[in-house]
Amino acid sequence: MGVFRDIEMEYEGQTYTVTPSNRLLRRIEGELSPSSLTDMIARIGSAKPPVSEVAFVVAEFLKAGGAEKVSEDEMYAELMSDLMTNEGKVFGAMTEAIVVAISPVDEVKTKKPKPSKGKSSE
């Protein structure tokens, strides 16, 4: 089991399964710098969505899932159109999927810790 959740994203009639990794998140955050994914999510939550950043992140996630012909410019245009004509329903679904994907899976370890193999003092 991975640290992050797999998500499915639809683009141009195809469904892509994205398996986030820390490497993917670092690459994205390197491009967002000095902003970060958590900054972006906070601004979305405060009704100040950074559409250009979300477009970039969605495009990178889709590329990681195998979409070869997605560009952040096209994604920006699609998200802006959605915000203006569809009350942001697609934008909301995409941002929600990203939040779910980058949130590590809660994994409760039920195994007992192994005793240390230190030398006994006899």
- pLDDT for the residue 108: 45
Say how far apart CA 36 and CA 25 lie, in whole Å.
9
Counting residues of the chain whose pLDDT is more than 90, the rounded percentage is 61
Q: Residue 107: what pLDDT?
A: 54
* Residue 104 confidence (pLDDT): 82
C-alpha span between 73 and 14 (Å, rounded): 19
Averaged pLDDT of the chain: 86
Q: Over the stretch 50-77, which tens digit does the pLDDT of each residue have?
A: 999 999 999 999 999 999 999 999 999 9
**What is the rounded distance in angstroms from the CA atom of residue 110 to the CA atom of residue 66?**
35
| Residue 58 vs residues 10, 44, 101, 114, 117: alpha-carbon distances, Å | 11, 14, 11, 42, 48
**What percentage of the chain carries pLDDT values higher than 70?**
85
Query: Is the CB of residue 20 less than 8 Å from the CB of residue 4?
Result: yes
pLDDT of 113: 52
Residue 110 pLDDT greater than 90, yes or no: no
At residue 3, the pLDDT reads 81
Q: Determine contact, residues 11/66, Cβ cutoff 8 Å.
A: no
Specify the range with the lowest mean pLDDT, choosing from 19-28, 92-101, 112-121. Answer: 112-121
Asked if pLDDT for residue 106 goes beyond 80, the answer is no
Question: What are the angstrom distances between the C-alpha of 47 and each of 51, 92, 120?
Answer: 11, 11, 61
Ordered alpha helix ranges (H), the chain: 22-32, 37-45, 51-64, 72-85, 89-102
